[in-house]
Amino acid sequence: MENREIAAIFEEISSLIKILQDDPKWNFKAAAYDRATRSIEALPERLEDIARDTSRKLTDIPGIGADLAKKITEIIETGDSAYHQEQLAKVPRSLLDLLQLQTVGPQKVRLFYKQANIHNVDELEAAAKEGRLRGLPGMSEKSEENILKAIEVFRRAAGRFHLNTALETAEVLTAWLRDSKAVEEVTPAGSLRRGRETVGDLDLLVTGRDPTSIADHFVKFPGIAAILAKGEDKVSVKLKNDLQVDVRMLNRSAYGAALMYFTGSKEHNVALRDRAKRQGWKLNEYGLFHGDELLASRTEEEVYAKLGLPWIPPELRENLGEIEAAENGELPKLVELGDIRGDLQMHTTASDGHASIEEMAAAAKQLGYQYILITDHSKAVTVANGLDEKRAVEHIQRIHAARKNVKGIEIWAGSEVDIMGDGSLDYPDELLKQFDIVLVSVHSRMNMPADEMTARLLRAIENPYVRIMGHPTGRQVLRRDPFLFDLEKVFAAAKKSGVILELNASPERLDLCDRHVKLARDRGMKIIISTDAHDPQHFKLMRYGVTTARRGWMEKSGVLNTLPPEKLLASLRTLPT
């Protein structure tokens, strides 16, 4: 049982308490679960390990009292808590789907359920379409529109998983498979290997001595909910987290061809197959053939080479020009995780982070980083404890003072300053000029019409102290589409004034997305990749940003935080004197 899974149960309990409100102390109870959820999410160690260690106590974890400690133990031992099941039984299961909708929290779910007798997404959609929601407290015609938009995103997301969920699951499964003596190699293929932001199912390729014993070992994996198919060379299962996994047992001699085939994308495969056909050859998952004669199959490199191409990185295999580029010797040399020298967006306990400036700096230094930019929230983001002017000035001093405590890494004072509805900034210029680097982003009023949003972003870019635009399109993976605005215009303005666009590496944002990174690259723009860490553990999310940058064809030279500190500072917009 992973911490994430335990936190998810606590989070759902809190939502259920807020929806039901059938206990006089419901709001205190819900708050306790919320606190515990945040605390578990920030915990660097596994709860299972703490629970097992007789010298440790779960109640030593902040926000975990005796009752919640008991529930954690129960969840670890039985997979769930009886209290959770009890609360769940009080509402229709489909009601909780509403929580997946953007702008719908437990209070709204309660409202729809109690006052409009809505039990599921379909009923909510019908009610919104018929204008039946606008009569409810706090609901307008505009909120009905927003709900319909959110439902559309929800439908598109159904059955797909965030990249980090897929990758973490694949890592656990790979380790499990490698435990079998019969297994030689395990390689995740499919959309995961291509680094897509969402994954439909996992495709694991396995080589080894004895397919039957590999299959027998695999189906003993404790996270399996159902075995969908078990054949000679393929096993399909559904995991408890609903992710489907296809495991294919392969012959070593055709590993390259199979890896290519099952990595995809389908579009890339089709284009390669056509290329083979033009030579009078045939390409499939067993190899490249001329009649019955096998031309290549052992490694991907050999198959590509026979087709007259260099090996193409999986992130590019979408048939979006990579085959032509490969043919012309123009494949980009993609940026790598090891190229990254610093992180330029992170939060500390001053706003909504979980660690101090020093803790973040020490962790970054441990990773080999040369610099960090501390970017706590500005005052408009009250829910994230944003800093008012006075606290911001004190925070800058504390950040500068931290340099004496953690040596060997540049610690820069920044802020994630809110772009207000009219495009003005949440801090006056007199304060902005005191930061080393100012990053700006939108956290409110994301549903405004496109022309207003464009004007808002353009105005923010005009402020001469602004140097980075954080999560520039506001989208959230599987949850929220980019806000409406003229992307070309904003990119052009950013390029002209030297404002750098961020690729936010959090797997829930990945904003810019791969397509937008490619657009930026094609326009000769550079980006920075940052994690938006709220905890030292989040630094490891950098890999998802780098993967997305690679999918956008970015080279090292296009990513500014691959530069050493002086060079990075020199390449940012020049500040007014």
Sites of contact with Ca ion (CB under 5 A): 190-191, 201, 203, 246
Residue 270's binding partner among ligand DGT, Ca ion, Zn ion, none (Cβ under 5 to 8 angstroms by kind) is ligand DGT
Choose which of 125, 203, 416, 426 interacts with ligand DGT (CB under 6 A). Answer: 203
Full DSSP string of 317-377? TTTSSHHHHHHTT----B--GGG--EE--B--TTTT-SS-HHHHHHHHHHTT-SEEEEEEE
Q: What is the distance between the alpha carbons of residues 487 and 513, in angstroms, rounded to a whole number?
A: 13
Sole window of 266-274, 497-505, 520-528, 556-564 interacting with ligand DGT (rule: CB under 6 A) = 266-274
Interface with ligand DGT, residue 348, by CB under 6 A: no
The rounded Cα 98 to chain-centroid distance in angstroms is: 21
Shortest spacing between CB 443 and Zn ion, in angstroms = 6
Contact flag: residue 262 with ligand DGT (CB under 6 A): yes
- Which whole-number Å values give the CA distances from 101 to 128, 365, 406, 480, in the listed order? 13, 38, 42, 9
DSSP per position, 470-539: SSTT--BTTTBPPPS--HHHHHHHHHHHTPEEEEE--TTT-BS-HHHHHHHHHTT--EEEE--BSSGGGG
Q: Residue 200, interface with ligand DGT (CB under 6 A)? A: yes
Residue 112 contact, options Ca ion, Zn ion, ligand DGT, none, Cβ 5-8 Å cut-off depending on partner type: none
Please choose, out of 195-203, 385-393, 428-436, 437-445, the segment that lies near ligand DGT by the rule CB under 6 A: 195-203
- Per the CB < 8 A criterion, the answer to whether 371 and 565 are in contact is yes
CB of 224 to Zn ion, least distance (A): 37
| Nearer to Ca ion among residue 246 and residue 416 (C-beta) | 246
Q: How far is the CB of 63 from ligand DGT (least distance, A)?
A: 36
Structure-block tokens of residue 174: 């790979």
Rounded CA separation 265/270 (Å): 9
- Are residues 413 and 374 in contact, defined by beta-carbon separation less than 8 angstroms? yes
169 binds ligand DGT (CB under 6 A): no
HSE-CB at 15 with a 13 A cutoff on CA atoms is 20
- 201 touches ligand DGT by CB under 6 A: yes
Query: What is the nearest approach in angstroms of Ca ion to the Cβ of residue 392?
Result: 46
Which stretch in 260-268, 380-388, 477-485, 560-568 sits in contact with ligand DGT by CB under 6 A? 260-268
Which string of DSSP letters, residue by residue, matches 548-560?
A: HHHHTT-BGGGBG
Residue 99 CB contacts under 8 Å (≥ 6 apart), including other chains: 15, 105, 106, 109
Binding partner of 441, given ligand DGT, Zn ion, Ca ion, none, CB within 5-8 angstroms per partner class: Zn ion
Does position 264 bind ligand DGT by CB under 6 A?
yes
**Of residues 18 and 534, the one with the C-beta less far from Zn ion:** 534
Candidates 57-65, 197-205, 452-460, 479-487: pick the segment binding ligand DGT (CB under 6 A): 197-205
Cα dihedral sign for 430, 433, 434, 435?
positive
**Whose CA is closest to 417, among 379, 444, 464?**
379
Q: Does 190 bind ligand DGT (CB under 6 A)?
A: yes
Distance CA 466, CA 469 (A): 8
Residue 264 near which of Ca ion, ligand DGT, Zn ion, none (CB within 5-8 Å, type-dependent): ligand DGT
C-alpha to C-alpha distance for 560 and 571, rounded to whole angstroms? 8
Closer to Ca ion by CB, 256 or 264: give it: 264
How long is the chain?
A: 577
Contact positions with Zn ion (CB under 5 A) in 403-442: 441
Looking at the Cβ atoms of 203 and 376, the one nearer to ligand DGT is 203
The residue from 199, 250, 360, 546 that contacts ligand DGT (CB under 6 A) is: 199
Q: Identify the bridge partners of residue 162 per DSSP, sorted by sequence position.
A: 198
Which residues of this chain interact with Zn ion, rule CB under 5 A? Answer: 441
Per CB under 6 A, residues contacting ligand DGT are 190-191, 199-201, 203, 261-262, 264-266, 269-270
